Amino acid sequence: LNFRNNILKDVSVEAVYTSPYSQVKINSASLTAMGQTELKGFRIDLLAEPDNFRLNLNWDNHDKIKNSGNITARGTFIKEPGPLMRPVLNIDVDSTSIFNKNNRWKIDQSKILVDSNAIKINRVFISNKDNYYQVNGTVSENPADTLHLEFRGIDISPINYISKKKKEPDEISLDLKGILEGNILLTSLYKNPLLESNLKISNFSLLQSNYGELAVVSAWNSEKKMADIRVGNNLKGKKMIDVVGNYDPAAKKIALDIKADKLPVDALNPLLRIFASNITGTTTGKVKFTASPGNIILKGALLAENTSMKIDYLQTIYRLNDSIRFDKNNIIFKNITVLDEKGNTAQLNGSVSHRNFNDFKANLVINTNDCMVLNTRPKDNELFYGTAFASGMTTIKSGTNSLSFDISAKTGGNTRFYIPLNSSETVSDYSFITFLNTDTATRKEEITKQTTVSPESETALDLNFDLEVTPDAEVQLIFDSKVGDIMRGHGNGNLNISYDQKGDFKISGDYIIEDGDYLFTLGNILNKPFTVENGGRIIFNGNIDDAEIEMKAIYKLKASL
């Protein structure tokens, strides 16, 4: 059974009626409450008569880390004195203790009265040493009736699980953390709920980012018929957030003016995790946040200060100091100057759209000028890797579990591009290798290899590189990296490199060698350096195992005198 993420497993129900008694017993292997706490051996026992009942809740995990409880409540049905004689239910909750992860929580005796118009709660008090929850007051349609909640030393992380639906692939957890202290006053819960609060949350964390102590104060404004809201933080003396606004219960709308002062941006990491990580830096500026049922809007601008992020698949890190705009459901980047690790500049345009801060989709264009566009190692990508500086355009698009890169560029200096041919053989193991004298050296090799494709991840990846390779760039074909069986070259060519969601990796195009060298190996015991002459050609025909090499390589010998 599953109700709002409260799950009962292996449930059995027994119901018996013997006049005038009715008894219902519900046994289960466990109850997972709010998707978080598992109560093993959870049982419900209800014994009822026409005018009273006894309810018992019991669970025990029988483990070293104790999670157990035994709660008993008794109810009596009476009629209210007076001409209307309305039915009233009196509930008495016995004092008891429950254990949560070996922590003992004491529940004091309390009374609850329920009639047709109101629920009256007489001091529900749950405590663990100096920490406690307290609920006291009345819930009704009468605006004069109030419900008072008081907290001290309470962990707020269970809020992440309350009313949580089945997790969707694009769902982002707020990952709220902190210890709550303060009080809340609630009125008109049946119609237009009103809330007044004075709360303090220490060690407050949101989206894995720490904000120190957070103060939340709200008070009812009779003239505006709204609740005025004020929020601020204090992280080791730094006040980075100042929020002023209101809540309109009639329209069910909240409007906040948010001022940020050197606010850390690392909270963006889980939001942009599909294509970026290691987002650091601070931001300063003002935004306006409005929210109503099914609609969240953020407008304004923030100045990113010493902000950097890593594009994960490319392993490139970019830094920026510029303004980022927010408009309805978009985060907008317009003519943003970014710098790579070497200080080379590029220009960023585009946006990251979202649906009420879920379902984030990126559409970004980076125009580079001799800027780093690739910085991978074999552990990052076994198909191809290297450090590439290029001038051109990089387009990044992401959706729900999908990511695409489209790069059209011309290589620049300090570019080194590696293509492993992934063979356990050295080139000398091929039967068609022939040695010639120092005056002529001609050979044609067709390489038949099996390319290892990286296993599929949860994110569907599409990659397209259109590269104009110049002599500034060094290209290496790696036959066997263990013994140094590698051909290096500089030259010209136009190459297309692609990788799709099915895991198909292809290289197409011709590469004309201007100069290079090749370390020939023989049976892992002999190696000879060859010089590759101008005019050699590497022909890529799609699959890496269809590649052809046409080149002249010379090995020079010194004659004995």
Between 285 and 34, name the one with better pLDDT.
285
What is d(CA 201, CA 183) in angstroms, rounded to the nearest whole number?
A: 12
Residue in the structure block whose two tokens are 């190696």? 527
Q: Return the pLDDT at 390.
A: 93
pLDDT single digits (tens) 263-316 = 999 988 887 888 889 999 999 999 999 998 888 899 999 999 999 999 998 999
Residue 87 lies in a domain: yes
Q: Return the pLDDT at 41.
A: 92
Mean pLDDT value across residues 211-223: 92
What is d(CA 501, CA 259) in angstroms, rounded to the nearest whole number?
A: 42
- pLDDT tier, 394 (very low <50, low <70, confident <90, very high otherwise): very high
Residue 193 lies in a domain: no
Q: Per-residue pLDDT for 36 more than 80?
A: no
Least confident of 56-60, 405-409, 422-426: 422-426
Q: Classify each residue of 3-25 as buried b or exposed e, where b means 16 or more C-beta atoms within 10 Å of its C-beta.
A: eebebbeeeeeeeeeeeeeeeee
Work out the percent of the chain whose per-residue pLDDT is above 70: 88
Q: Return the pLDDT at 169.
A: 47
Q: Return the pLDDT at 449.
A: 36
Question: Is the dihedral angle over the CA atoms 140, 143, 148, 149 positive or is it negative?
Answer: positive
Dihedral of CA atoms 147, 152, 157, 158 in degrees, nearest 10, equals -50
Between 110 and 501, name the one with better pLDDT.
110
Q: What is the phi/psi pair of residue 554, to 5°?
A: -115, 135
Widest pairwise Cα distance in the chain: 132
Least confident of 45-49, 130-134, 279-283, 555-559: 555-559
Q: Return the pLDDT at 33.
A: 73
Q: Return the pLDDT at 458.
A: 64
Q: Per-residue pLDDT for 429 more than 50?
A: no
Mean pLDDT value across residues 2-7: 71
Q: Return the pLDDT at 437.
A: 42
Residue 492 lies in a domain: yes
Q: Per-residue pLDDT for 413 more than 60?
A: yes
Q: Per-residue pLDDT for 431 more than 50?
A: no
- pLDDT tier, 163 (very low <50, low <70, confident <90, very high otherwise): very low
Which of 100, 120, 140 delimits the end of a domain?
120
Nearest alpha carbon to residue 65 among 40, 95, 90:
40
Residue 66 lies in a domain: yes
Q: What angle do CA 167, 168, 170 make, to 5 degrees?
A: 125
Mean of the per-residue pLDDT values of the chain? 85
Q: Return the pLDDT at 13.
A: 92
Host domain of residue 81: 1-120
- What lies within 8 Å, CB to CB, of 360 at 6+ separation is 170, 172, 271, 272, 274, 352, 353, 354, 398
Q: Per-residue pLDDT for 423 more than 80?
A: no
Which of 86, 120, 154 delimits the end of a domain?
120
Residue 18 lies in a domain: yes
Q: Return the pLDDT at 5.
A: 67
Looking at 182-279, list the stretches that DSSP marks H as alpha helix, in order from N- to C-terminal side. Answer: 268-271
Domain count across the chain: 2
Which of 120, 145, 175 delimits the end of a domain?
120
Residue 220 lies in a domain: no
Q: Return the pLDDT at 426.
A: 41
Nearest alpha carbon to residue 416 among 275, 516, 312:
516
Q: Return the pLDDT at 83.
A: 73
Question: DSSP secondary-structure letter at 271?
Answer: H
pLDDT single digits (tens) 57-75 = 999 998 888 999 999 999 9
Residue 74 lies in a domain: yes
Q: What is the pTM of this model?
A: 0.74
Q: Return the pLDDT at 440.
A: 38
Q: Return the pLDDT at 558.
A: 64
Q: Per-residue pLDDT for 432 more than 60?
A: no
Mean pLDDT value across residues 121-130: 94
Q: Return the pLDDT at 116.
A: 83
Between 421 and 133, name the one with better pLDDT.
133
Strands 118-128 and 131-140 come out as antiparallel
Mean pLDDT value across residues 352-368: 89
Residue 487 lies in a domain: yes
Contact predicate 209/270, CB 8 Å: no
Q: Return the pLDDT at 207.
A: 85
Q: Return the pLDDT at 121.
A: 96
- pLDDT tier, 546 (very low <50, low <70, confident <90, very high otherwise): confident
